[in-house]
Amino acid sequence: MTDLLAAAYPWTKALHIMAVIAWMAGLFYLPRLFVYHVETVGETGDTHGLFMTMERRLIRVIMNPAMIATWVFGLCLLFTPGLVSWDMIWPWTKGAGVLAMTWFHHWCSMRRKELERGENHITGRQFRMMNEVPTLLMVLIVVSVVVRF
C-alpha cells in the first residue's frame, strides 16, 4: 500500500491542493452570504428564498465534497512514507488547523439551517468577524506546511 501511495504522490498532492482551494473558496464566501442575508434580505420573500438556495447549494455541492476530498487526499499524503516527521511541531499545528477548519465548516452549516428555520441569532457584524476565521486558520496551516518548524 505504501508503494502505491508513494507512486501516486504527485497526483495525490495535486488533488489535495485543488480540493483545498475549492473548500476555502466556500469557507470565504458562505459567511459573506450570511452577512448580506441577515443585513439586507431578512427572513421572508423571494430574495430570502434565493439566498437560502445559494447557501444550501454552496454547502452541499461545493463545500461538503471539497472538504471530504481534502480529508481523503490529505490522509493519503499523511500515510505516504517519508513525508511527515512526527518529531516536529508542524504536523501537529497543521492537524489542529484542519480540525478547526472542519469545525468552522460545520458551524457554518448549523448557521445556514438556523437561517432556514428563521432562528438566526447572529448579527451581520458577528458574521463579518467569523469570516476572518478561515483566513487565520489558512495562515496557520500554510505556514506549518511550508516552513515546517
Q: What is the 3-state secondary structure (H, E, C) of 14-68?
A: HHHHHHHHHHHHHHHHHHHHHHHHHHHHCCCCHHHHHHHHHHHHHHHHHHHHHHH
Grid cell listed for 87: 518529531
- Residues 115-139 have pLDDT tens digits of 999 999 999 999 999 999 999 999 9
Residue 3 reports pLDDT greater than 90: no
Grid cell listed for 107: 458551524
Question: What whole-number distance in Å separates Cα of residue 24 and Cα of residue 95?
Answer: 16
- Residues 91-110, mean pLDDT to the nearest whole number: 98
Give the mean pLDDT of the chain: 94
Tell me the pTM.
Answer: 0.92
Asked if 122 contacts 128 with a C-beta cutoff of 8 angstroms, the reply is no
Cα torsion 66, 69, 91, 128 to 10°: value is: 10
Residue 80 reports pLDDT greater than 90: yes
Question: What whole-number distance in Å separates Cα of residue 39 and Cα of residue 63?
Answer: 23
How many residues are listed for the chain in this entry? 149
| C-alpha to C-alpha distances, 37 to 4, 42, 97, 105, 119, nearest whole angstrom | 47, 6, 28, 18, 13
Which DSSP category does 80 fall into?
S
